[in-house]
Amino acid sequence: MTKVETLAQAEKGATRIVGEVKWFDPVKGFGFVVAETGGPDILLHANVLRNYGQSSVADSARIEISVQETERGVQAVEVFRIDPPMHQTTVPLTDFQEMDEESIRAAPLEPARVKWFDKGKGFGFANVFGRSEDIFLHIEVLRRSGLADLQPGEALALRVIDGKRGRMATEVLAWENAVSLDD
């Protein structure tokens, strides 16, 4: 954090912390974070998450946030980083089992928009800008990417491969947070 950021946060009475998402419900529009240093649960409102460019976050994801003490308790006011849950399974999805892991990781990030996603069904589709074909989005890929749900029209960056059943995402990132990753 720069000296200017530190001063701006101090003026707002905000403190930067790292914690773990206890739970987040995009339908309710909020969830809670537990600081790694302990203390009370921290309210994470959907608007704060949207300002970061995401509509959801996976339970147990690591998160770096700025928090403020309010009359209603401690609340997140800004999100700086979200890392996928650390206790993920390392077993590849069936669709990726016969593929070279290096080529999956080497796939470029492509700008896309969510067409639709149904958390209950466990899948949905997106479209890469400038291309007509659908990109399959599996719930497990979302979870491994630190997300729990997607909203229609949400901007994403996808790593896309040609799988057995067509084009499919292997990684999903909020567009605003992925721009610097592929430089």
> In the structure, how many helices (H) and strands (E) does the chain have?
5, 10
Q: pLDDT: is 181 or 140 the higher one?
A: 140
Largest CA distance in the chain: 54
Separation between Cα atoms, residue 100 and residue 151, nearest integer Å: 31
Rounded to an integer, the average pLDDT of 45-54 is 90
Q: pLDDT: is 157 or 7 the higher one?
A: 157
Q: pLDDT: is 135 or 98 the higher one?
A: 135
Q: What percent of the chain clears pLDDT 90, i.e. is strictly above it?
A: 35
CATH tag for 94-178 (out of 3.20.20.70, 2.40.50.140, 3.40.640.10, 3.30.420.40): 2.40.50.140
Kind of pairing between the strands at 155-163 and 109-118: antiparallel
CB atoms inside a 10 Å sphere around CB 24:
25
Q: What radius of gyration, in Å, describes the C-alpha atoms of the chain?
A: 17
Second CATH level (architecture) for the domain 3-83: Beta Barrel (2.40)
Structure tokens belonging to residue 83: 């890392």
Identical topology for domains 3-83 and 94-178: yes
Amino acid, res. 125:
F
- Burial class, 113, CB count within 10 angstroms (exposed 0-12 / middle 13-18 / buried 19+): middle
What pLDDT score was predicted for residue 55?
84
- 136-169 per-position pLDDT tens digit: 999 888 888 888 888 898 888 898 888 777 889 9
Each domain of the chain, given as residue ranges in start order, spans 3-83, 94-178
Helix or strand run (H / E) with residue 4: helix 3-12
Residue 127 predicted with pLDDT over 60: yes
Give the 3-state secondary structure of residue 106: helix
Given a contact cutoff of 8 angstroms between Cβ atoms, the answer to whether 67 and 79 are in contact is no
Q: 0.75 cut: is pTM over it?
A: no
Please tell me what DSSP assigns to residue 143.
Answer: H
Separation between Cα atoms, residue 79 and residue 17, nearest integer Å: 10
Cα separations in angstroms, 144 against 33, 87, 107, 136, 148? 19, 10, 16, 15, 9
Given a contact cutoff of 8 angstroms between Cβ atoms, the answer to whether 134 and 116 are in contact is no
